[in-house]
Amino acid sequence: MEARIAKAVEFIQANLDRRLRVGELAALVGLSESRFWHLFGKEMAASPGNYLRAERIHRARTLLETTSLSVKQIAYAVGFDDESHFIRAFRSISGLAPGEFRRRRPQVEFECEN
């Protein structure tokens, strides 16, 4: 992966809870916005906005699987200002609403050795 895009991706993943703008990402890696859009799309096969949205949903899935945070808390933790917008975005990518996803996830059973 191109080093500047790798740096932007690393920054995105570390700041999913923040409102990120393409101009901010472009400036971070020393590119114009138009060049950043072009390189990012070429390297990631997605626009910066679509990539950010997918990463936020991926992180939300992890939080739904590993924490007891409410859907609203998770929405804010992954950068959504509005719970209903988060639910729609999650459903469009995952095919399920966050609550349904949490209820349907496989329950892990632990065996104790004696």
Q: Is 0.75 topped by the overall pTM?
A: yes
> 3-class secondary structure for 69-96?
CCHHHHHHHCCCCCHHHHHHHHHHHHCC
DSSP 67: -
Let me know: does 65 contact 71? Beta carbons within 8 Å. no
Pick the CATH number of 3-103 from 3.30.360.10, 1.10.10.60, 2.130.10.30, 3.10.20.10: 1.10.10.60
Write down the domain spans for the chain: 3-103
Q: What is the pLDDT of residues 22-79, one digit of tens each?
A: 999 999 999 999 999 999 999 999 999 999 999 999 999 999 999 999 999 999 999 9
Q: Two tokens at 76?
A: 């804010």
Scanning the structure block, which residue is given the tokens 């990402």?
A: 25
Scanning the structure block, which residue is given the tokens 């459903």?
A: 91
